Amino acid sequence: MTDLSKNMDTLGYPAWVPNFGTRIALHNQRLGLVELIDKSIDIKFLYYVMCSAGYRNEVMASSTGTTVHHTSPKRILNYKFLLPTLPEQRGIAATLGALDDKIESNRRAQRSTSQLVDALALKMLDSTETASVPLREVVEFNRVSYKPGDPDESVDYIDIASVSPGRVDAVARTTWGDAPSRARRGVRDGDVIYSTVRPGRQSYALILDPIESVVVSTGFAVMSPSPEIGSSLLTTVAGATDFAAYLKSVAHGSAYPAVSVDAMGNYLVDVPADPAVAKEFEVSTMPLRRRSHLLESENDALGRLREALLPELLSGRIRVPEAQEAVAEVSA
């Protein structure tokens, strides 16, 4: 299913609902269903038509409203597109579907890896002597800060909206001249970022192998590991519901509740009393975290390929056999 959680305006974004037969859900503030009555159209092919930028742009062009865009079902159904033969439609759907299947398989592997490491962390803490200490005593907050560089210099910016629980969904390439004033925090390999705005949403991520130009919003607290709590265990702490509940309880504000770094640092965290135990845990589990990160990078490449192939296949500029060769190279 299409992930709509990060789209502030979901007009024109379809979602493929498994076991829904010949129907597609259309998301916005209102939810619509499209059901096929023409057997010359493959439903999965139609789904990919509705995933195309051309479709979304036309729907947005027909929309009204300021805060929330909306349109009528008639305008949606008036969209015109090229209709190849049914076998070609099925070939296009199968080709793009193979990419989506690989992406979803990688995501399942990532979730399983995260759950495994978290379980190992709990087992380790239960089986060894621990000390309960304020988080600020075992991590360093916001270690690196940047001042704007040359206005034309490229920078890769991560904002709060582009981070969901456990992962960075997008990195925006911009310049210092165009970057928002919040682009100030630096990150290093092994740091964990956590949004201080709406902390109950658990927008956090472990940063691995960042390129030198990456900078994150000042809306994040950047936590750097230590011998007492390494990157892997720190990631488990950041993803724990207890941590989110604590941050939510000490946040201030109604519309945009936020938590201070000082309050975050007061959180009591259990760490092994023997640093050697903490080190052993990191040695055994960080390879799993890094392997999961590689899957995320692979998904980024698969997503870019899908977005590149989609308009080419729908327009007929690339035929299915050519696209299948490109997909086979990356999805094996």
What the block records as the tokens of 107 is: 């995501």
Whichever domain contains 232, its CATH number is 3.90.220.20
295 in any annotated domain: no
174 in any annotated domain: yes
Decide: 157 and 183 in contact? Cβ < 8 Å. yes
Per-residue model confidence (pLDDT) at position 291 = 96
Per-residue model confidence (pLDDT) at position 2 = 39
Per-residue model confidence (pLDDT) at position 67 = 61
23 in any annotated domain: no
Residue 240 or 69, more confident: 240
pLDDT higher than 90, residue 282? yes
What the block records as the tokens of 126 is: 């239960």
Domain housing 152: 131-273
pLDDT higher than 50, residue 8? no
Distances (CA, A) of 86 to 62, 66, 112, 222, 243: 29, 39, 38, 52, 52
Per-residue model confidence (pLDDT) at position 5 = 37
Please give the single-letter amino acid code of residue 307. E
Q: What is the mean pLDDT of residues 119-126?
A: 97
Per-residue model confidence (pLDDT) at position 59 = 73
CA distance 262 to 141: 9
CA distance 24 to 41: 13
Q: How much is the pTM?
A: 0.83
Per-residue model confidence (pLDDT) at position 31 = 60
45 in any annotated domain: no
What the block records as the tokens of 277 is: 């135990």
E strand segments, 142-275:
144-145, 154-158, 163-164, 167-168, 172-175, 183-186, 192-195, 204-206, 214-217, 220-224, 268-272
Q: 293-324 in b/e burial notation, b at 16+ Cβ within 10 A?
A: bebbeebeebeebbeebbeebbeeebebeebb
180 in any annotated domain: yes
What average pLDDT is seen over the chain? 88
pLDDT higher than 90, residue 129? yes
- What 3-state DSSP class applies to 123? helix
pLDDT one-digit tens code per residue, 24-79: 555 444 666 667 777 788 989 988 988 888 887 877 776 666 666 666 666 677 77
Task: Domain count for the chain, please give it.
Answer: 1
207 in any annotated domain: yes
Residue 291 or 255, more confident: 291
155 in any annotated domain: yes
